[in-house]
Amino acid sequence: MALLQGLYETPADQLLAFVEQSLQPEGDWKEEVKDAWQRIERFFREQCFRDELVLDQEVRVLKVVKGGSSGKGTTLNYSSDVDLVLFLSCFSSFQDQAAHRRSIISFIKKRLIQHSKNLAYSITIVPQKETTRVPRSLSFQVQARKTSEVIGVDVLPAYDALGHFSSDFKPSPEIYEDLITSGGPPGEFSPSFTELQRHFVKSCPVKLKNLLRMVKHWYLQCLKPKYRNAALPPKYAFELLTIYAWEIGTDKSDNFNLDEGFRAVMELLLDYEDICIYWTKYYDFQNETVRIHIKQQLKECRPVILDPADPTNNLGSKKRWDLVAKEAARCLRQACCRTEDPSQGWHVQWLQPHRGWKEEILEAVKTVQQFLREEHFEGDYGPDQEVRVLKVVKVGSFGNGTVLRNTLEVELVVFLSCFHSFQQEAKHHQAILSLIEEKLWCCRDLLALGLEDVEIIQGVPDALVFTIQTRGTAEIITVTIVPAYRALGPSASNSQPHPEVYESLIEAHGFPGNFSPSFSELQRNFVKHRPTKLKSLLRLVKHWYLQYVKAKCPRAALPPDYALELLTIYAWEMGTQEDESFRLDEGFTTVMELFQEYEFLCIYWTKYYTFQNPVIEGFVRKQLKRDRPIILDPADPTHNVAEGYRWDIVAQRARQCLKQNCCYDNKEKPVPSWNVKTKAYCGQNSHPLVHEHVEM
């Protein structure tokens, strides 16, 4: 059946219709494949080994598992590859499988030829390529009855390493130990993990499977015919890359645009030399043998795409990814990738952390959190009472959902039972830091993670800082702990605190920002509950700040990341009226322009505190009369997060950025910015406008 229209000729906004009309398998074809599968499966279960001795023993078929696109639910119309994995009783180990697979495949081939007439299908054995390696499978083609199409079948004899399988199954680490120590070539025994591979893809949402079909169609129709003799990556590698793009680009959302997803995958393929992807769904870093092996794999030349079911199998290794990238670049110029607004795609893939990497970081941090929750802090310092940890809150970029890839700093706020007021916190803050420092060195779990560089750092407020290592990749994480008074009580939410909380804060007369950790949950939620695309803009701004400002001026007193986050959120609120559908390039340009106007900035919100209370009103109005820039912390009115920093350096770097390609469109015109006023005049006094964003 010929496709009505080619992929490259299909407009981007019609890709869903293209998949539904041309790629999804029709009912007759599905029935054809299903009938062929059932007949072949029945042959292997009931006839192939019956009344025969193989390897001087009776061989039983333990189970037959359908792999390939048919097993995963990603079959293309009139194109199907079926992997039929035979788990046999004659294999009691991976070594057994390696030793006897050739004999088993020869026997299966002989029996299949003998009984082909009984299958009621025309079967053609595919000749095996000449190689020194023992073949992994027997390949044959089944002629469809109602069409001229053929169904490709690969029979793979395998050792049943997993035994009983269920959807929530995670193999014992010993299974992977056996696999790693078996000595087989990379991926040699992957068929033993077919059920895991199949479930990893089969459990994906329907819309993602449509994207998988489209990428696979591109591979089969646009890439493979051009390079028939080249060592191209396997289709499974493209499936995993597509799933990764979806996980990172949409945060596993079922609601996405197919054209954005397809374009994102093509863009990923261009950057193949930076790809390093793995999952910890079926194996992780807890077992030493597995951990060492994965660490070695992750050090290999890029791209690295570890099979989520088989850590020995790097699907990116020794393949012609340069040819793939060449065709992907061509694809991005075609109608299927030509969207009116390219910024609407899945952006900044390489700024977002890989899920497995993030989980490994947080696993190490969990050890710190457990130490804080379980330790009873008693000593010669501070309050004459037992100190209990009421709550540990993860803040900063890891807490608010804007962490950048390779960020290795985690901030924790610890609410303690010994603080009953802001004044008590100020009085005992240093003593508590010293007490926690002392207890750290007694924690065996933290010592096992390479606890080092423990010191109390002066700041706003002072904090305890130390380093630990991740269990798997031994990356060094910097952890910051700040003790705080639980001013908001046990059920701090995203709602407005009682005005008396802010009254007591103002009356405490603390140094600006010293008591901000008490409001860390509100600070976190202010950013965390923003739209996904705004978080992409936040990541982009922070990446620019780290690479082009902080890296260039490491000793300068530069504004904190939180100030940039608030300024970016303000730009989005004012410039788009909080519209979730905006152009990322316009948002980035707008923020750069705002940086240049820093001397006129005066921003505050009324989400958590308002002017209804006279104490708060009087204090905030005094704050707003201070020198610009003013960016009041939306959770703490005593803290102007913009005060006392070298905004002139930020403005200079922003001016340079606006001259770069990232702030110009593909027609070499400057990207337009949003209409966000930073200066206005009122009456005869000519005061800069105060920007107030009211959220009730």
pLDDT tens sequence across 293-347: 998 898 888 899 999 999 999 999 999 999 999 999 999 889 998 876 555 556 5
Q: How far apart are CA 392 and CA 396, in angstroms?
A: 13
Q: How far apart are CA 142 and CA 109, in angstroms?
A: 14
Give how far the C-alpha of residue 409 lies from the chain's centroid of Cα atoms, to the nearest Å: 17
DSSP, collapsed to helix, strand or coil, labels residue 152 as strand
Amino acid 290 reads V
Provide the angle, in degrees to the nearest 10, between the axes of the packed helices 647-657 and 584-596. 140
CB distance 33 to 146 below 8 Å? no
Q: Please say whether the dihedral angle defined by the alpha carbons of residues 653, 659, 662 and 663, taken in this order, is positive or negative.
A: positive
Q: How many CB atoms lie within 10 A of CB 432?
A: 24
Q: How far apart are CA 86 and CA 65, in angstroms?
A: 7
Nearest Cα to Cα of residue 337 among 11, 18, 19, 583: 11
* Burial 52-66, CB ≥16 within 10 A → b, else e: eebeeeebebebbbb
DSSP, collapsed to helix, strand or coil, labels residue 40 as helix
Asked if the model's pLDDT at residue 184 lies above 60, the reply is yes
pLDDT, tens digit, for every residue of 262-275? Answer: 998 998 898 888 78
Look-up: residue for tokens 């029935």?
A: 31
* H or E stretch at 153: strand 150-158
Nearest Cα to Cα of residue 558 among 444, 641, 496: 641
CB distance 111 to 47 below 8 Å? yes
Q: What's residue 355's pLDDT?
A: 65
Q: How far apart are CA 584 and CA 595, in angstroms?
A: 17
Q: How buried is residue 133: exposed, middle or buried, by Cβ count under 10 Å (0-12/13-18/19+)?
A: exposed
- Report the pLDDT averaged over residues 150-179: 91
Q: What's residue 660's pLDDT?
A: 92
Asked if the model's pLDDT at residue 354 lies above 80, the reply is no
Query: So what CATH class is 29-160?
Result: alpha beta
**DSSP E strands, 174-288:** 276-277
Task: Supply 97's token pair.
Answer: 């499988």
Equal fold, 29-160 vs 357-486: yes
Mean pLDDT taken over the chain: 88
H/E/C letters for each residue in 435-472?
HHHHHHCCCHHHHHCCCEEEEEECCCCCEEEEEEECCC
Contacting residues for 422 by C-beta, under 8 A, at least 6 apart = 485, 487, 504, 505, 508, 510, 515, 518
Asked if the model's pLDDT at residue 2 lies above 60, the reply is no
Q: By percentage, how much of the chain surpasses pLDDT 70?
A: 92
Q: Which residues pair with 138 in a beta bridge?
A: 155
Q: What's residue 408's pLDDT?
A: 86
pLDDT band at 685 (very low <50, low <70, confident <90, very high): very low
Task: Supply 511's token pair.
Answer: 């140094």
Radius of gyration (C-alpha) of the chain in whole angstroms? 30
* Burial 3-37, CB ≥16 within 10 A → b, else e: eeeebeebebeebeebbeebbebeeebeebbebbb
Q: Please say whether the dihedral angle defined by the alpha carbons of residues 402, 408, 411 and 412, taken in this order, is positive or negative.
A: positive
pLDDT band at 190 (very low <50, low <70, confident <90, very high): very high
**Backbone φ and ψ of 65, nearest 5°:** -120, 130
pLDDT, tens digit, for every residue of 445-469? Answer: 999 999 999 999 998 899 999 999 9
**DSSP E strands, 449-601:** 452-457, 463-469, 476-484
Q: How many CB atoms lie within 10 A of CB 155?
A: 23
What fold does the segment set 357-486 form as a domain? Beta Polymerase; domain 2 (3.30.460)
Q: What's residue 682's pLDDT?
A: 27
DSSP letters, 219-235, are IIIIIGGG-TTS-PPPH
pLDDT, tens digit, for every residue of 14-69? Answer: 999 999 999 988 888 888 888 888 889 999 999 999 888 888 889 999 999 999 88
Q: What's residue 512's pLDDT?
A: 93
Task: Supply 81's token pair.
Answer: 């590859």
CB distance 304 to 297 below 8 Å? yes
Look-up: residue for tokens 């992957």?
A: 190
Long-range contacts of residues 322-327, Cβ cutoff 8 Å, at least 24 apart: 322/272, 323/223, 323/226, 323/227, 323/230, 323/232, 324/223, 324/232, 324/233, 324/269, 324/272, 325/269, 325/270, 325/272, 327/222, 327/223, 327/226
Asked if the model's pLDDT at residue 222 lies above 60, the reply is yes
CATH architecture assigned to 526-696: Orthogonal Bundle (1.10)
* H or E stretch at 321: helix 321-331
Q: What's residue 3's pLDDT?
A: 44
CB distance 344 to 585 below 8 Å? no
Amino acid 692 reads E
End-to-end C-alpha distance for the chain, whole angstroms = 59
In terms of DSSP H, where are the helices of 597-659? 614-623, 647-657
Q: What's residue 168's pLDDT?
A: 80
Q: How buried is residue 417: exposed, middle or buried, by Cβ count under 10 Å (0-12/13-18/19+)?
A: middle
Amino acid 619 reads F
* H or E stretch at 175: helix 173-181
Look-up: residue for tokens 């890989």?
A: 354
Distances, alpha carbon 196 to alpha carbons 62, 167, 307, 628, in Å: 17, 9, 10, 58
Q: How buried is residue 88: exposed, middle or buried, by Cβ count under 10 Å (0-12/13-18/19+)?
A: buried
Provide the angle, in degrees to the nearest 10, between the axes of the packed helices 258-270 and 206-218. 50
Give how far the C-alpha of residue 675 lies from the chain's centroid of Cα atoms, to the nearest Å: 33
The greatest distance separating any two alpha carbons of the chain, rounded to the nearest whole angstrom, comes to 104
Q: What's residue 606's pLDDT?
A: 92
308-317, 354-363, 529-538, range with greatest mean pLDDT: 308-317
- Report the pLDDT averaged over residues 647-656: 96
Q: How many CB atoms lie within 10 A of CB 128?
A: 12
Asked if the model's pLDDT at residue 686 lies above 60, the reply is no
Nearest Cα to Cα of residue 353 among 445, 251, 222: 251
Asked if the model's pLDDT at residue 147 lies above 90, the reply is no
Nearest Cα to Cα of residue 308 among 202, 234, 200, 235: 200
ω into 629 cis (within 30 of 0): yes
Starting at the edge strand that comes first in sequence, how are the strands of the sheet with 602-605 ordered? 636-640, 630-633, 602-605, 691-693
Q: What's residue 492's pLDDT?
A: 63
pLDDT band at 120 (very low <50, low <70, confident <90, very high): low
Domain spans of the chain, in order of start = 29-160, 357-486, 526-696
